[in-house]
Structure 1
């Protein structure tokens, strides 16, 4: 249940199910309509049952199968005692066969009014948006009416939202109709988790409509906690069985970010963690660290000497590192060492400034950019992602990160509430801190440094780069949610033991 499908992948699943004889299109439409009504009554229990005074619902139906779902919803709501007014955008003669059948079934019960620009639909308790769904490929051609006082329910996706990218098609007011509740079918779509999707969808419910067909190749997945406990717990052995992580620090007054990364690496289970820093910063770091060891690393030659210790199997460069010539040499030496390597913050800036450094990136690296860093590293890809979305399916963050990972030849983790992780093979995961996993407290200085430390610690323990990025990102959000409001970056490693204990249960 972790797949995030595109509109085309969802259509292919439905088509294969219908062609196999397992289900008909009409049966799927009936199940979808029932799923919407069930979700409405579960979300707002006061709407369930037969009211003493009929409540009014407005159902806006579009010219495709999404509109057909809307006609089913209208019929079921009326059967539950609601007064229902149905509006159709487009011509009934052009409806697909299954949608036309449900249009005719509704006509036996009530009328259908044309929906036109500036239509006044009056007040209602509920408005069902069954206009365009996942198939929308262009901006809306009208400002859609919103009944006064109505709770808004979107069938599949809010009209105006690209189901593949979570981007609003078009610009200006009315380009998308936000919902209080969105009900989609079989699997969530990428656009529910990416970009503006969560804000536009309100609450999201995925309704099971009985499909069992596989989605096929090229499917992006949500990162979940499934199976994490078995990978994260320790058995026997000694500390170096769980790796040795090296975190490089900046100079005097610049070591806090590296110390937080080191704390994260240690808490997540690396057997040993060392901070390497310029000699002048040793006393400062020693005053702040106990279980984390310290090494003098004045320059790239010193780093090469430290790395002769083959127990050091994962490195992190970037948090508070600096962007001068010394730091560029350190990044070069780390890349040439060939160890598992997390590159964050200042290291990403150095990569963006030097094609020679970028060329040294290898497949055991993880790059962890936020939006600005991504734009500096991959300006053409970022420009494509930031361009107005005027047609669908629009270019998405998934598309962008896959392209970046292929170009860099390593795992790329593009941060945000909709963190996307991809590797050069095209494998892709979304760590969505949205809906009931929202973690707005992560918008605090140093949170990304801790995430870099989590990933470095996991790589020290033997996790592959993609897996370390997925697990580190999931735990990062879980720690923020466990701590809650008032979170600062230093709290994240301290929240990790409680998260790990819960995973064991």
Structure 2
């Protein structure tokens, strides 16, 4: 696949426009033929011991792919049973042509009885599904996945998964693998769709890259190629201040650990200096645990104002274990008015739950220098209307929130989304499930802060931090605790 499109994420609506544009220059049936042949090849390669391939075909072009796959499997000598949803006489266009080229018998979908040794090829609905599946399909899904527990190879996306949001529309197949064409769709990456798609194969059926680039939105998978050019320069003569000075606010004496996790991550992620800004009553607790990080007392706005006289101190992390909402709001105001860069996490986000607009106003009208790192609950405190809108995907919510806040939004989870006010969106895919542990988000905040302190633009700083955080989880391994993560942060990718 072309290197510039292998990270592209395309919505079903945009993919429809791409298909229509491709049909002006290419044979649309030829594209369907290549898609169906790719499905058949994947089925034979992945399931060499299958006794029978049960191909379930829908009433649209996804079903057409299924008829092509069934013909190819039959020609390869495999046992094939084809079952159709709806009347085959009602098929139109390329799907009708694909059906006409299939010489075998086709039974109604309701007649399919799962049998031991079957491999189901799900060609009922593709990524364009935006309504609940019919009851007849829900019944087949129940019979295949719950009762018979048969392996499923999905065409484009498991039927029942909304390709735009990744949500389940009534019921959905749980596939062992999915074959999609040209580009990933949001439903392949957003939960629960990602877990239902199984192993994903993206097959190039020959649509020109120029058409993908022309019609696609600014969504990609988060990989180093996206932000590699923004990485900080590693010069031999550079000194510690040249690598950036990061400051992390500590909570009270009973809640200092979260900030120390952020500070440790900031050091490991490359900041030249990290200072923990501690309430005086927590100084002794923090001092007992710090070695490489510095420590300064900050009890209120006056202490912070004095600290901001040092122009070298430009980047801050506020929120992990902080606790005091009123003090958080005062500190954020001073940092915003001083033109500083800020990673706002956890308690820092919650401090503005009663007046999110006040936060957004502080950072409006300029290049983004605010990075927000909410999980779903914290997101709902700042953006309750977006959180409650069931029509929005996680990508939609993050994108709208970034535009509203003029900040970079890291909407955390197993399918973390990074969004910028200008509409750019990345979906992360390298985080292992065991990264979901207490304190993991504090480490992420520290990595983001370190990247900002080293001079990276906010979007690239956030995206690269999410990726390195995921890699740290992979390196630390299953059973990790947050304390393991800073030492596992990998070097910058080559």
- TM-score scaled to structure 1, two decimals? 0.90
Secondary structure of the 1:341 match is strand
Q: Is the 8 A contact 1:316 1:343 kept in 2?
A: yes
Q: Is the 8 A contact 1:351 1:358 kept in 2?
A: no
Q: How does 1:133-148 map to 2 (within 5 A)?
A: 133-142=126-135, 143-145=138-140, 146-147=143-144, 148=148
Secondary structure of the 2:267 match is helix
| Partner of residue 313, structure 2 | 312
Q: Is the 8 A contact 2:360 2:404 kept in 1?
A: no
Please, which runs of 5 or more residues in structure 2 have no aligned partner? 1-5
Q: How does 1:106-121 map to 2 (within 5 A)?
A: 106=102, 108=103, 110-116=104-110, 119-121=112-114
Deviations 1:159-206 (A, max 9, x none): 111011101123xxxx21221111111111111000211121122111
Deviations 1:374-395 (A, max 9, x none): 11111111001xx3xxxxxx52
Distance across 1 between alignment mates of 2:38 and 2:224: 27
Distance across 2 between alignment mates of 1:99 and 1:77: 17
| Partner of residue 154, structure 1 | 154
Specify whether residues 35 and 438 from structure 1 end up closer, same or farther in structure 2 by C-alpha distance, changes over 3 A only: farther
Distance across 1 between alignment mates of 2:304 and 2:124: 61
Instruction: Find 1:485's aligned residue among 474, 478, 482.
Output: 478
Instruction: Find 2:424's aligned residue among 407, 424, 427.
Output: 427
Deviations 1:120-158 (A, max 9, x none): 354442111101112222111122424545311110011
Q: Is the 8 A contact 2:325 2:350 kept in 1?
A: no
| Partner of residue 461, structure 2 | 468
Distance across 2 between alignment mates of 1:313 and 1:403: 27
| Partner of residue 443, structure 1 | 436
Distance across 2 between alignment mates of 1:68 and 1:262: 55
Specify whether residues 438 and 79 from structure 1 end up closer, same or farther in structure 2 by C-alpha distance, changes over 3 A only: farther
Distance across 1 between alignment mates of 2:325 and 2:114: 63
Secondary structure of the 1:3 match is coil
Q: Is the 8 A contact 1:124 1:149 kept in 2?
A: no
| Partner of residue 349, structure 2 | 348
Deviations 1:7-36 (A, max 9, x none): 1111222222221x2x31111111111211
CA displacement at 1:500 relative to structure 2: 1.5
Distance across 2 between alignment mates of 1:177 and 1:210: 28
| Partner of residue 31, structure 1 | 34
CA displacement at 1:324 relative to structure 2: 4.0
Distance across 2 between alignment mates of 1:128 and 1:354: 51
Q: Is the 8 A contact 2:386 2:392 kept in 1?
A: no
Q: Is the 8 A contact 1:123 1:149 kept in 2?
A: no
Instruction: Find 1:416's aligned residue among 413, 417, 440.
Output: 413
CA displacement at 1:365 relative to structure 2: 0.2
Instruction: Find 2:363's aligned residue among 361, 364, 380.
Output: 361
Distance across 2 between alignment mates of 1:401 and 1:227: 19
| Partner of residue 286, structure 2 | 285
Distance across 2 between alignment mates of 1:463 and 1:76: 51
Distance across 2 between alignment mates of 1:368 and 1:438: 16
Distance across 2 between alignment mates of 1:25 and 1:77: 21
Distance across 1 between alignment mates of 2:359 and 2:27: 56
Instruction: Find 2:66's aligned residue among 67, 70, 73.
Output: 70
Q: Is the 8 A contact 2:55 2:122 kept in 1?
A: yes
Q: Is the 8 A contact 2:163 2:185 kept in 1?
A: yes
Q: Is the 8 A contact 1:58 1:124 kept in 2?
A: no
Distance across 1 between alignment mates of 2:105 and 2:7: 40
Specify whether residues 357 and 71 from structure 1 end up closer, same or farther in structure 2 by C-alpha distance, changes over 3 A only: closer
Secondary structure of the 1:153 match is strand
Root-mean-square deviation (CA, aligned residues, Å) is 1.8
CA displacement at 1:282 relative to structure 2: 1.5
Secondary structure of the 1:34 match is helix
Q: Is the 8 A contact 2:279 2:299 kept in 1?
A: yes
Instruction: Find 1:455's aligned residue among 426, 437, 448.
Output: 448
Q: Is the 8 A contact 2:325 2:348 kept in 1?
A: no
| Partner of residue 44, structure 2 | 41
Residues 1:220 and 2:219 aligned together: yes
Distance across 2 between alignment mates of 1:443 and 1:196: 16
- TM-score scaled to structure 2, two decimals? 0.92
Q: What is the count of residue pairs matched by the alignment?
A: 473
Q: Is the 8 A contact 2:7 2:220 kept in 1?
A: yes
| Partner of residue 79, structure 1 | 75
Q: Is the 8 A contact 1:144 1:177 kept in 2?
A: no
Deviations 1:221-266 (A, max 9, x none): 1100227666256213111111111111112122111111011111
Secondary structure of the 2:482 match is coil
Residues 1:295 and 2:296 aligned together: yes
CA displacement at 1:44 relative to structure 2: 3.4
Distance across 2 between alignment mates of 1:272 and 1:329: 24
CA displacement at 1:492 relative to structure 2: 1.2
Specify whether residues 134 and 324 from structure 1 end up closer, same or farther in structure 2 by C-alpha distance, changes over 3 A only: closer
Q: Is the 8 A contact 2:40 2:70 kept in 1?
A: no
Secondary structure of the 2:351 match is helix
